[in-house]
A and B are shown apart, each in its own frame.
Chain A
Amino acid sequence: MTYEEFADSRLTALLRYAVMLTGDPHLAQDLVQETMVRVQLNWRRVVRADVPERYVRRMLTNQYLDWQRGSWMRRVWLRAEPDEGLPAPVDHAEATADRDQIWSWLARLPRRQRAALVLRYYEDLPDAEIAEVLGCAVGTVRSAISRALATIRAEFVEA
């Protein structure tokens, strides 16, 4: 597989995944761009992985989890609230306000918990694979997800 073939088949899926992680199309683009630059520079190494697709997803996830520590942070700060200016998703008007609160609750979760939710409920990965992506034990994944769900449930009750 060449880098070009990989990008052809996987770039859209990666962008979608990044949107779910960041909740922001611009940040998602930055995240994917930075990851894919590394993928291309490292192509020999990436293609050697058992499943390159998974390896790249892991790279992207790590990049996302590391955001706070480096220059990414500045970009996040320079932008206003990540959710600002999002086009309103098309839905039944009344339910929308309620439902999209979920999105802002997601934004307040610790990144690792949010990533675990995205991997399970958007990417539909089994817990073992989520653990691999996040580089932790399966038990840690489960407790992160149950904590995240508990937080969101509590918000629902309050709302």
Chain B
Amino acid sequence: MSDDMRPVEDELRAAFARYEGLTPEVGPVREAIAVTVTRRRRRRRAVRATGAAFALVAVLAVPFLGRAGDLPGVPEVAAPPFVLAPTGPAEPLDFLFLGLDGGDGRSNGHRADTVLMVHVPADRSRLYLISIPRDLGVEIPGHGFAKLGSAFYLGSHRPGARPDLAAGAELTERTVSELTGVRFEATATLTYRGLRQVTDAVGGVRVCLPADVASQHTDRTFRAGCQQLDGAAALDLLRQRFTMREGAHDRDRNGQRFAEALLHKVTDPATALNPVRAAQIVDAVGGDLVLDLGGVTVPELFGALRGVAAADAVGIGWTIRPRQSADGLVETIDAAESRSLFDALRRDTVAEWVAGHPQRITR
């Protein structure tokens, strides 16, 4: 026992104060930080294409997460032909993916049709895909209560100029972060045109339909059965809503069919994890794919990529209720249930949450 019988708390304070003398000099630390940052930035550019391939896969997985019941089977995904040793501390990763609508001519702005959170747990055992309804009523920082999808418009709109997609993505990201408490390591945003270009870049996709679909926009009729679609045709198909019996729900299902076909293409080991091929795709898409890879490091990205290729994707959906508000009809999700999911995301305990909420699994 120490002589002076001071309480343990005081002993602690005193011990900490004594050890302040061990604090390293700032100068060399600062220099080391600068050197490492430069090196990582260089590597980050090199890996961008690979990251984009991951982003594309996840963006394209979106329509699988619809609320409709008849989800297609999980496409076969081959494990990559290489195994990397684990590098760096394993941390859960959160990504945000936004699929934009076509934009409307009058307002020169896009809304986010699709808002998807991708959670890769620290153990990399699964890939959790949480879609947030675009019509969900939320607080948008600086803009008040509105539909989630409009955050993109509010952030990106530039009167008389082209919309600033990066700014739209940023405001949407901030909105989702405030809603969920989750911070994102990276965001990826894809426009309709980007979707078309990706389809063309992978050489088209083979989509199978259960019934004929007539286009309202062109003179195309998509026949029941399987067919090869190029980018323009795929986009045309995905825009059809009113000519089908169940409207938006049928469109969601076509989106699932398309996404399944595209997933087959981009998760093919011959394309997805091949940086050259991915770079070609990214080149083709250009400004219609906006990536903010933030500080995601190379090992993390590879870790996540391995996860994507090898893990089962688990889609999580919501019970959605319409509610009348000043902003028109908005959708709401169950507050207690969503809060528990958001907590699980932050604490990286989604597996437990999923086990307790099997009815929320959409695939």
Interface residues of A (CB under 8 A from B): 7, 11-12, 15-16, 19-20, 23-26, 28-29, 32-33, 36-38, 40-42, 44-45, 48, 62-63, 66-67, 69-72, 86-87, 89-91, 95, 98-100, 102-103, 106, 117-118, 121-122, 135, 149, 152-153, 156-157, 159
Q: For chain A, what secondary structure do more than half of its interface residues adopt (helix, strand, loop), or is it mixed?
A: helix
With CB as the reference atom, state the residue of chain A lying closest to B292: A44
Residues of A within 8 A of B30 (CB): 7, 11
Stretch in B53-61, B81-89, B155-163 with 4+ CB within 8 Å of A = B81-89
Q: How far is the CA of A91 from the CA of B19 in the complex (A)?
A: 11
Contact A45 to B2, CB < 8 A, known contacts A15-B23, A106-B15: no
Question: Which B residues touch A7, using CB under 8 A?
Answer: 30, 33
The reply to whether B40 and A121 contact each other, CB–CB distance below 8 Å, is no
Contacts of A48 in B (CB 8 A): 174
CB of B8 within 8 A of CB of A156, answer yes
Docked pose: A26 CA to B22 CA in angstroms: 10
Please tell me the size bucket of the interface on B: 35 or more
Q: A132 → chain B, closest Cβ, in Å?
A: 11
Query: In the assembly, what is the distance between CA of A56 and CA of B119, in Å?
Result: 22
Report the number of A-B residue pairs with Cβ-Cβ less than 8 Å: 130
B29 partner, pick from A32, A38, A72, beta carbons under 8 A: A32
Chain B residues 3 to 19 lying within 8 A of chain A, measured CB to CB, are: 3-4, 8-9, 11-16, 18-19
**Contact of A40 with B33 in the complex, beta carbons under 8 Å:** yes
Whether B16 and A99, one on each chain, are in contact in the complex, defined by CB atoms closer than 8 angstroms, is no
A-B residue pairs in contact (CB < 8 Å), sample of 14? A11-B30, A12-B23, A20-B19, A36-B29, A41-B44, A42-B294, A70-B89, A72-B89, A90-B21, A95-B4, A121-B13, A135-B346, A152-B8, A156-B1
Q: Is the CB of A66 within 8 A of B89?
A: yes
Q: Within 8 Å CB of A24, what residues of B?
A: 22
Partner of A102, one of B12, B26, B89: B12
In the assembled complex, the CB of A99 is this many whole angstroms from the nearest CB of chain B, namely 6
Establish whether residues A33 and B89, one from each chain, have CB atoms under 8 Å apart when the complex forms: no
Docked complex: B28-76 residues within 8 A CB-CB of A: 28-30, 32-33, 36-37, 40-41, 44
B28 to chain A, nearest CB (A): 8
Contact B89 A41, beta carbon cutoff 8 Å? no
How many whole Å from B216's CB to the nearest CB in chain A? 41
Give min CB distance, B240 to chain A, whole Å. 38
Complex contacts, B3 vs chain A, CB 8 Å: 95, 98
Taken together as a complex, chains A and B put the C-alpha atoms of A40 and B184 apart, in Å, by 16
With A37-B36, A121-B12 as known contacts, state yes or no: A89 contacts B2, CB within 8 Å.
no
A17 to B8, CA, bound (A): 20
Of B4, B23, B346, the contact of A16 (CB 8 Å cutoff): B23
Q: What residue of chain B has the Cβ atom nearest to residue A12's Cβ?
A: B26
